[in-house]
Amino acid sequence: MKIFVLLSNAPHAGGEAIEVVGHEVVEKAQQLGHSVCLQVIFRDPRGSAAAQQAEQTLREVRLPGVVVCPMLYVEDVADLSSKRGLVSRLRRLFTSLTLRRLFPASGLGSMVERRVREAGADAILSIWSWEALAATYHISGVPKFVYYGNPDHLPMQARLRHPDLFGLPLASIKDRLWLWFERVRNERRKRLNISMMNACEVTANNSRLDADFYRVHGHPHSIYLQNMWPVVEPAPRPVSLSVSQPRPIKIIGSVGNLGATGNTFALTYLGRELLPRLAARFKDRPFEIHLLGKGTPSAASAAALNDRRVKIRGWVEDINEEFRSSSAFLVLTNVNADFLVGNTRILLAWALGTCVIMHENSGLAMPEIEHGVNALLGKTPDELAELIVSAVDDEVLRRRIGQGGQHTFETYYRSDVVVPKMLSLVQDMVDRCRSAPAPAALH
């Protein structure tokens, strides 16, 4: 097949999750004999450090059969007007509910369509990119396969439902009016996303909940397709935590952008609910919670984490070694029912044989999660604290759960398992569209 692949980040094997997944799709599609035309639609401004790094990464793509298109920038078509007059403000207010304002990458649609047709693509494949969806949903005659993470309205919906946690002001009438209008805008965002997705032949979601969401809202081919991660070298042996060990017990408490929606829920819960219970159970035994990733915690999260045992590490160069040197990985991004998502970070821990402890809500998004098999699942902070202490004190348990996670990863989530499955589904989509009867001519 000739596949037109769209990403929001340059593919990079050593980057963040979205860059790693993009790299795996592009590289393995090429290895499987497909021709790939790669298009990145970038949301950061031209000239920014992120844009310069992405441009450099794209220049370094050297894969036979992969053609790299010049990068497109959302800012080139976004409405960045800053005029302060009353008329200008009213205009921005009335246009703020339009597709072009809520999904500015839709303004790149004509250029992307021209490149798709010039490439002679058999299929369009977009990866975790609302920019790609907005720029391609309208294209006819070339079937569209959308591999998606979260529905676009979901993070903002969760934030608007918990304004205190995310620092949204509520003190004045003006603040409350703004909050009301943002809810209106987000409902419009939701409806537009559903409409665009329903214009695409297949939506493949790495959360079962999201697959159900689009199916309920009318999509005829909304499916669950596992997330993915490349194969990594597993830890040779789980960390031994004997009482004579001089180092503190190390638990990884978070991975990823510390200010992101899921991590804000997770870190606040960690500080307010879990940390005091862990301190009570560990008593005089030293322990540390390590938080890994870029970004800054919200003010609420930072206040909750004001404890010397919490180590905010930022971006780390060798995250695999961080997992290998820890006793457990704690996943709390799904503690709040208003924000339930699939997590790529779980896959890394599984691939390395790390014992994963998480809130039981995670299993709603990723059905392969099984308590006592590949994870330890708790519902309350007391249950989670007991599971952490049990895992720390029981090397056999840690090893069994880590091995169970490795088996689950090998079976369902390796990129060399998921990408061939994905491309088979793309081929089925293309074949189905080719065999469909042509629309009747109008008289």
pLDDT at 317: 85
- Kindly indicate the confidence band of residue 242, based on its pLDDT and cuts at 50, 70 and 90: very low
pTM here is: 0.91
pLDDT at 208: 97
> Which residue spans of the chain are classified as CATH 3.40.50.2000?
2-81+99-229+415-435, 249-413
Average pLDDT of the residues in 382-386: 97
Instruction: Give the CA angle between residues 273, 333, 385 to the nearest 5°.
Output: 35
pLDDT at 423: 98
Q: Is it the case that residue 90 has pLDDT exceeding 70? A: no
Task: Express each pLDDT in 416-426 by its tens digit.
Answer: 999 999 999 99
Looking at the DSSP assignment, which residues form a beta bridge with residue 287?
249
pLDDT at 77: 92
Q: What is the DSSP letter of 108?
A: G
pLDDT at 437: 72
Instruction: Count the residues in the chain.
Output: 443
CATH number for the 2-81+99-229+415-435 domain, one of 3.40.630.10, 3.40.630.30, 3.40.50.2000, 3.30.465.10?
3.40.50.2000
Query: How many percent of the chain have pLDDT more than 90?
Result: 83
Average pLDDT of the residues in 201-205: 98
Average pLDDT of the residues in 80-107: 73
Looking at the DSSP assignment, which residues form a beta bridge with residue 125?
5, 145
- DSSP annotation string for 223-269: EE----B---PPPSSPPP--TT--SPEEEEEEES-TTSHHHHHHHHH
pLDDT at 343: 87
Domain 249-413 has what CATH class? alpha beta
